[in-house]
């Protein structure tokens, strides 16, 4: 049996960033993941060579990745900076535009392929003293003991640490084994993701259309004519569109983008995933803590999933480090409660806002349509209100 200070289940962006942050503070950390070690991502730039899972990283997330040494390990020619956002209501005339120059910021964020962020964090974790990352090591079950949770893996290995972290994503088995309840909403929508070549330069803009079938987002990649799409569709519309051959899919996409969006020319391989919002009632239990998607997964319409996850990681690492400096035990409820208090409030506020957005823009009630179109127009004309919205997006 292996006995680290902290065992992290899941070597995704959350698990690896937490391991690096804690390893640097002198904790002895083991990370286990059921997947195989991810190979180095391809450097080719054909439409099929881009990761289907991308993240819109905010300046605050980039700053945290920089401090871990991961941001500079991501190839700069593969990150897409965005300085503008264009949002419109496909059911009316409402539109709003945000520009980084309005808040005197150099940019609003970067679109980065998930596998590149992961690879950079893996380099940091593997070279960090005190951190061990084990692949092909899936947790099978776990049970409480007097000295922490005992974690048994499919390959027969066993771990026991005073503190176990569930960073094992939205379908967290750690959360399930510890019987930590969640509040769940199904949107009865699925999202199609893929890479699209445009007929024009993407102008470093994120486009978001609120259509009556669900939101459609275009996120600018490092190549000036390529964007990642996240097209959320009600279940009834999803299958017929997802199964279209490439050419017909591009035509459907252009119809959905209408006159407000850019024109698509080609699409690469696509994937779909069901949209659910889920929030753990508690993030902590005795000797156990949940972070990122294991604690909360939300609608991709605001592109905030990984940003909230990285904030969880930053706060948990800070609280555990502060606890250590005060001589508290690693699993001290004092530090864990402080983490939960700070993160639950912010995550819940974002989830409630997403729910409101989704409901407001999902409504076909004519009065709601008029109200939201007037609302978008009003915000667009109020410089101070736009600055406030952008301040929220940058943090």
Ligand X SMILES: Cc1cc2nc3c(=O)[nH]c(=O)nc-3n(C[C@H](O)[C@H](O)[C@H](O)COP(=O)(O)OP(=O)(O)OC[C@H]3O[C@@H](n4cnc5c(N)ncnc54)[C@H](O)[C@@H]3O)c2cc1C
User: Residue 308 or residue 369: which is nearer to ligand X going by CB?
Assistant: 308
User: Residue 10 or residue 369: which is nearer to ligand X going by CB?
Assistant: 10
DSSP assignment of 362-382 equals H---HHHHHHHHHHHHHHHH-
Give the end-to-end CA distance of the chain in Å, rounded to a whole number: 41
Return the SS3 of 385.
helix
Task: Measure Cα distances from 68 to 17, 71, 81, 112, 310 in Å.
Answer: 7, 8, 20, 17, 11
User: Residue 100 or residue 393: which is nearer to ligand X going by CB?
Assistant: 393
User: Residue 32 or residue 330: which is nearer to ligand X going by CB?
Assistant: 32
Task: Measure Cα distances from 197 to 4, 70, 77, 254, 316 in Å.
Answer: 47, 28, 17, 12, 40
User: Residue 264 or residue 393: which is nearer to ligand X going by CB?
Assistant: 393
Minimum distance of ligand X from residue 233's CB (angstroms): 14
For residues 51 and 174, the answer to whether their CB atoms sit within 8 Å is no
Minimum distance of ligand X from residue 32's CB (angstroms): 5
* Distance (Å, whole) CA 342 – CA 327: 22
Minimum distance of ligand X from residue 16's CB (angstroms): 8
Q: Report the residue closest to ligand X, judged by CB.
A: 12
Minimum distance of ligand X from residue 135's CB (angstroms): 9
User: Residue 140 or residue 246: which is nearer to ligand X going by CB?
Assistant: 140
Minimum distance of ligand X from residue 20's CB (angstroms): 13
CB-based burial of residue 381 (10 Å sphere; 0-12 exposed, 13-18 middle, 19+ buried)?
A: exposed
Minimum distance of ligand X from residue 133's CB (angstroms): 11
Residues that bind ligand X (CB under 6 A): 9-15, 32-35, 53-56, 114, 138-139, 167-169, 173, 193, 230, 273, 292-293, 300, 303-307, 309
User: Residue 30 or residue 332: which is nearer to ligand X going by CB?
Assistant: 30
* Distance (Å, whole) CA 257 – CA 216: 8
DSSP assignment of 179-225 equals T--EEEEEEEEEEEEEEEEESS--TTEEEEEEETTEEEEEEE-SSTT
Task: Measure Cα distances from 347 to 18, 75, 207, 304, 315 in Å.
Answer: 18, 30, 24, 10, 13
Minimum distance of ligand X from residue 228's CB (angstroms): 8
């Amino acid at each position: 049996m292996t006995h680290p200070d902290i065992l992290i289940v899941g070597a995704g962006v959350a698990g690896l960033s937490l391991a690096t942050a804690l390893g640097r503070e002198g904790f002895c950390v083991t990370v286990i993941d059921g997947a195989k070690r991810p190979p180095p991502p391809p450097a080719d730039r054909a439409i099929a060579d881009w990761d289907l899972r991308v993240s819109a990283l905010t300046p605050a997330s980039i700053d945290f990745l920089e401090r871990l040494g991961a941001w500079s390990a991501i190839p700069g020619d593969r990150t897409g900076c965005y300085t503008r956002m264009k949002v419109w209501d496909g059911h009316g005339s409402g539109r709003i535009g945000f520009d980084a120059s309005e808040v005197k910021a150099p940019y609003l964020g970067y679109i980065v392929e998930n596998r590149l962020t992961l690879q950079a964090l893996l380099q940091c974790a593997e070279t960090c003293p005190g951190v061990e990352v084990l692949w092909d090591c899936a947790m099978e079950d776990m049970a409480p003991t007097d000295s922490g949770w005992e974690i048994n893996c499919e390959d027969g290995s066993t771990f026991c640490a005073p503190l176990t972290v569930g960073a094992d994503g939205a379908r967290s088995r750690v959360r399930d084994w510890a019987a930590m309840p969640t509040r769940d909403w199904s949107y009865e929508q699925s999202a199609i993701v893929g890479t699209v070549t445009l007929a024009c330069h993407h102008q470093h803009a994120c486009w978001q259309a609120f259509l009556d079938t669900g939101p459609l987002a275009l996120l600018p990649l490092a190549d000036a004519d390529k964007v990642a799409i996240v097209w959320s569709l009600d279940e009834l519309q999803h299958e017929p569109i997802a199964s279209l051959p490439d050419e017909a899919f591009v035509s459907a996409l252009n119809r959905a983008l209408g006159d407000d969006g850019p024109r698509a020319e080609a699409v690469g391989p696509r994937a779909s995933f069901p949209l659910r919002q889920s929030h753990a009632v508690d993030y902590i239990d005795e000797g156990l803590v949940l972070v990122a998607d294991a604690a909360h997964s939300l609608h991709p319409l605001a592109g905030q999933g990984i940003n909230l996850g990285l904030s969880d990681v930053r706060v948990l690492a800070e609280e555990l480090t502060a606890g250590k400096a005060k001589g508290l035990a690693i699993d001290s409820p004092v530090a864990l409660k402080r983490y939960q208090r700070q993160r639950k409030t912010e995550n819940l506020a974002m989830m409630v806002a997403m729910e409101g957005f989704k409901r407001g823009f999902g409504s076909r009630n004519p009065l709601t349509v008029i109200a939201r179109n007037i609302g978008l127009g009003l915000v667009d004309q109020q410089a101070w209100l736009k600055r406030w919205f952008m301040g929220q997006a940058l943090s």
